[in-house]
């Protein structure tokens, strides 16, 4: 139930021919293919990178492969500069929230989905981050998901069980018991759920079948937060915030792990890596190491709460002079064998076929079970401006300050409509 309904848009510009056609004789091909990967690969799966590079060298013995690792903090700036001065890599890894910027600017070459392993079972929300104007502009690489992070000791003390409930009804019952046990501490949140946390709020919208915006028959996007199902999800989220968050309801989620690290929360909803922040020597409390665990957050519909899809994609740049071998490198790096290498390291692969076994593996179950119904932001020209203006967080804050859900969502849709169809 992806939040961004519709995968086409009205604007159009000239585009290169579909990337990926094989060279007539790979062994005769010459030149250089430059690949930019994020340093996560260097730190966590260098063996996979080396194997793929060796495979590429065997197929293209006369092509020089240049690999450069990038950091998330400065990659976008470096890529923008490289695209401007003509020194862009042939292959680039993009966080899936970055792809639309480069699709709209004409910086990426389209690819043929049918030539990649498991493309018929790619995680829908992840593949959607690469889709625009009925074409595919990048290839899903790996996925990420938000999960419930909880202090199992707090749950054990309140209920006699250290397990995280599997249904929302059971979870709310447990949260009420935790609240009763800690009623003398007005700063303690059974569920620390920040009010402006729009990624969480929109997960509840998705659970009720709502959406942020839709692409309609008139050729435009329009906001749909005022729709009944969307309002239902927003109302449910706000009710949870008001009942269980005992902190500042207007504080965002940026450092939400601190609430648990400082003993002020029994649980919160966040990225899996935030669990490590809770127990880290500098940012958190190492004494909680054995107590802090992750679980799948249950949704109100009896299923796991749909997560905002995280992860990375791989793209060929539009001006590459090595489109075929560059695409082939991506094909090798996202093959079934390569994706299994990621899965073996507890990284969520790009497809449901190889994801499914991870749903029952203790170290990956929480995130893997949240992915199949994941959602993503609207793939619209002006979505960047909508985010920049903080329309949804401001809507949530307004509701928590007393504005009705009906009026707040109507106002938010009007603001979205002003921006979403205009390239940002």
Helix, strand, coil in percent for the chain, rounding step 5: 40, 20, 40
State the average pLDDT for the chain.
93
Q: Is the pLDDT of residue 9 over 60?
A: no
Sheet holding 292-295, edge to edge: 267-271, 146-151, 292-295
pLDDT band (50, 70, 90) for residue 21: very low
- pLDDT for the residue numbered 423: 81
- pLDDT for the residue numbered 218: 85
Alpha carbons 244 and 192: distance in angstroms, whole number = 7
- pLDDT for the residue numbered 2: 43
Express each pLDDT in 111-129 by its tens digit.
Answer: 999 999 999 999 999 999 9
Comparing CA positions, the residue from 351, 344, 346 lying closest to residue 294 is 346
- pLDDT for the residue numbered 17: 38
Contacts with 231 (C-beta within 8 Å, 6 or more apart), sequence order: 210, 225, 405, 406, 409
pLDDT band (50, 70, 90) for residue 3: low
Alpha carbons 216 and 133: distance in angstroms, whole number = 14
pLDDT band (50, 70, 90) for residue 91: very high
Alpha carbons 291 and 300: distance in angstroms, whole number = 26
Comparing CA positions, the residue from 320, 307, 302 lying closest to residue 370 is 307
Q: Is the pLDDT of residue 346 over 70?
A: yes
- pLDDT for the residue numbered 230: 98
Nearest 5°: the CA angle 64, 69, 71 is 160
Express each pLDDT in 280-294 by its tens digit.
Answer: 998 899 999 999 999
Alpha carbons 400 and 31: distance in angstroms, whole number = 59
Q: Is the pLDDT of residue 23 over 50?
A: no
- pLDDT for the residue numbered 24: 72
Express each pLDDT in 171-206 by its tens digit.
Answer: 999 999 999 999 999 999 999 999 999 999 999 999
- pLDDT for the residue numbered 424: 66
**b/e for 47-85, b at 16 or more Cβ within 10 A?**
ebbebbbebbeebbeebebebebbeeeebeebbeebbee
pLDDT band (50, 70, 90) for residue 404: very high
- pLDDT for the residue numbered 282: 87
pLDDT band (50, 70, 90) for residue 12: very low
Alpha carbons 367 and 145: distance in angstroms, whole number = 5
Express each pLDDT in 141-169 by its tens digit.
Answer: 999 999 999 999 999 999 999 999 999 99
* CB-neighbour burial class of residue 161 (10 A; exposed 0-12, middle 13-18, buried 19+): exposed
State the number of CA atoms in the 13 A half-sphere of 46 facing the CB.
5
Q: Is the pLDDT of residue 133 over 90?
A: no
């Amino acid at each position: 139930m992806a939040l961004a309904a519709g995968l086409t848009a009205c604007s159009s510009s000239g585009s290169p021919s579909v990337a990926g056609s094989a060279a007539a004789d790979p062994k005769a091909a010459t030149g250089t293919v430059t690949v930019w990967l994020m340093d996560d690969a260097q730190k966590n799966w260098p063996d996979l990178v080396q194997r793929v590079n060796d495979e590429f060298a065997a197929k293209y013995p006369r092509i020089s492969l240049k690999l450069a690792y990038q950091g998330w903090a400065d990659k976008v700036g470096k890529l923008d500069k490289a695209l401007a001065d003509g020194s862009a890599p042939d292959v680039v890894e993009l966080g899936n929230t970055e792809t639309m910027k480069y699709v709209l600017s004409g910086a990426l070459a389209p690819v043929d989905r049918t030539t990649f392993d498991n493309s018929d079972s790619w995680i829908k929300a992840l593949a959607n981050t690469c889709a625009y104007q009925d074409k595919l502009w990048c290839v899903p690489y790996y996925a990420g998901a938000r999960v419930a992070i909880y202090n199992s000791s707090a749950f054990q003390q309140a209920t006699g069980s250290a397990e995280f409930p599997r249904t929302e009804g059971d979870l709310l019952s447990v949260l009420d018991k935790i609240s009763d046990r800690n009623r003398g501490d007005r700063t303690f949140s059974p569920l620390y759920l920040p009010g402006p946390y729009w990624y969480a709020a929109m997960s509840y919208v998705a659970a009720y079948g709502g959406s942020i915006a839709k692409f309609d028959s008139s050729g435009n996007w329009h906001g749909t937060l005022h729709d009944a199902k969307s309002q239902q999800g927003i109302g449910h989220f706000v009710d949870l915030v008001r009942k269980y968050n005992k902190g500042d309801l207007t504080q965002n989620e940026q450092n939400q792990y601190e609430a648990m690290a400082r003993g002020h929360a029994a649980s919160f909803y966040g990225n899996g890596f935030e669990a490590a922040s809770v127990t880290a020597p500098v940012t958190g409390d190492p004494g909680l190491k054995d107590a802090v665990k992750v679980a799948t957050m249950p949704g109100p519909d009896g299923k796991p709460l749909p997560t905002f899809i995280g992860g990375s994609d791989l793209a060929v740049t539009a001006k590459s002079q090595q489109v075929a071998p560059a695409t082939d490198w991506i094909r090798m790096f996202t093959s079934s064998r390569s994706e299994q290498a990621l899965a073996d390291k507890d990284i969520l692969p790009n497809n449901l076929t190889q994801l499914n076994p991870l749903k029952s593996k203790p170290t990956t179950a929480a995130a893997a079970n949240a992915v199949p119904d994941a959602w993503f932001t609207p793939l619209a020209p002006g979505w960047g401006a909508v985010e920049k203006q903080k329309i949804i967080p401001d809507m949530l804050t307004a509701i928590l300050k007393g504005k009705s859900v009906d009026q707040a969502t109507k106002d938010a849709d009007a603001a979205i409509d002003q921006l979403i169809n205009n390239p940002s």
